[in-house]
Each structure stands twice: as C-alpha cells, then as structure tokens.
Amino acid sequence: MKRDLKFEAVYPHPPDKVWRALTDPQAIAQWLMKNNFEPRVGHKFQFRLEPRPRGWSGIVDCEVLEADPPRRLAYSWRGSGLDTIVSWTLEPIAESTRVRLEHTGFRGLRGWMISRMLGKGWRSKILTQNIPKLLAHWVGEGAVPDVPEAQCTHK
C-alpha cells in the first residue's frame, strides 16, 4: 500500500565519480545539503537545509543503511514527522551512469497521508490539476491563515 517517490537520471560520468559525489561530505554539500555523512553502515548523520524552508525544521536525521560502492547507498531520512528511506542505485551504461533515486516508506502521520495522496487516481488528476487550482483560489481569498505546524502533529 505504500507509495514512493521514484526518480531516474543518467549522467555522462562513470559510477565511481557519481559515487564520490554521493558519499564525499564536501561534494554532497555542494549539490545536496550540509552534512556530516560517512559511507559506513550504521553511521548517524544529519542533513541541514539552509535557509530553513517554510513548515520544515530544515534538519534531516539519517542513518546509513546500505553502502555498497559504487552501486548502492541507502539512508534513513527522518524529520518533521517523516520516517522514510532514501536510496540510490547506480548502474553503469557505457561511459555513463544511470542513477535511480527512491524516497520510500512514507510512514507516520504526514507520511501516511502523503502515501494516500500519491495513490492511484489522485496523483494524476486531483493533485496535479484540481487541488492546485483550488488552493490557488483559496489562497487568493486571503482570509484564512496558514495551517499551523502543530495541527499536523496533534495527537
């Protein structure tokens, strides 16, 4: 029943180089986020996003779950009510590398709802067309304040 976010990209660079970009803290900081990553299973680290986005602490707590150079890397991705897993799978194609990125295991209150929202039939229409239109209209009314953070974590 879980729904995941999946992305794929092909980079004209060899897997070793892509792996370095995914696992060297300085490299990661340049394209992803500030971090104290080490490519060692069990290593706990944090990503910090600056400036802090609206509705998010900007801190992601992680733990390395898999590190199999230069093929597969996975870490837990926890923050703001999300308890998820981010995994990277590298596959050489000629001189290039195919990278599969999966953000999976949406659980917890928000995660669960996100997974529902990503469910069949909703993603295609309601999420991409109807809801955005409605939200634009609703936001345009300007009468309703922002949803407070607490509302989503309320038990």
Residues interacting with other proteins, by CB under 8 A?
1, 5, 7, 9, 11, 13, 17-18, 21-22, 27, 30-32, 53, 55-56, 99, 101, 103, 109-110, 112-114, 116-119, 121-122, 125-127, 130-135, 138, 144, 147, 151-152, 154-155
Residue with Cβ nearer other proteins (59 or 152): 152
Integer Cα distance of 53 and 37 in angstroms: 21
Rounded to whole angstroms, what are the CA distances from 35 to 6, 24, 28, 127, 140? Answer: 23, 10, 7, 32, 38
Residue with Cβ nearer other proteins (65 or 131): 131
CB of 155 to other proteins, least distance (A): 6
CB of 89 to other proteins, least distance (A): 13
Rounded to whole angstroms, what are the CA distances from 29 to 11, 22, 39, 45, 83? Answer: 19, 10, 14, 13, 22
Closest CA to 80 of 60, 64, 107: 60
Integer Cα distance of 73 and 105 in angstroms: 16
CB of 55 to other proteins, least distance (A): 7
CB of 147 to other proteins, least distance (A): 5
Residue with Cβ nearer other proteins (2 or 40): 2
Residue with Cβ nearer other proteins (24 or 68): 24
Count of beta carbons in the 10 Å neighbourhood of residue 122: 15
Residue with Cβ nearer other proteins (40 or 53): 53
DSSP β-bridge partners for residue 92: 97
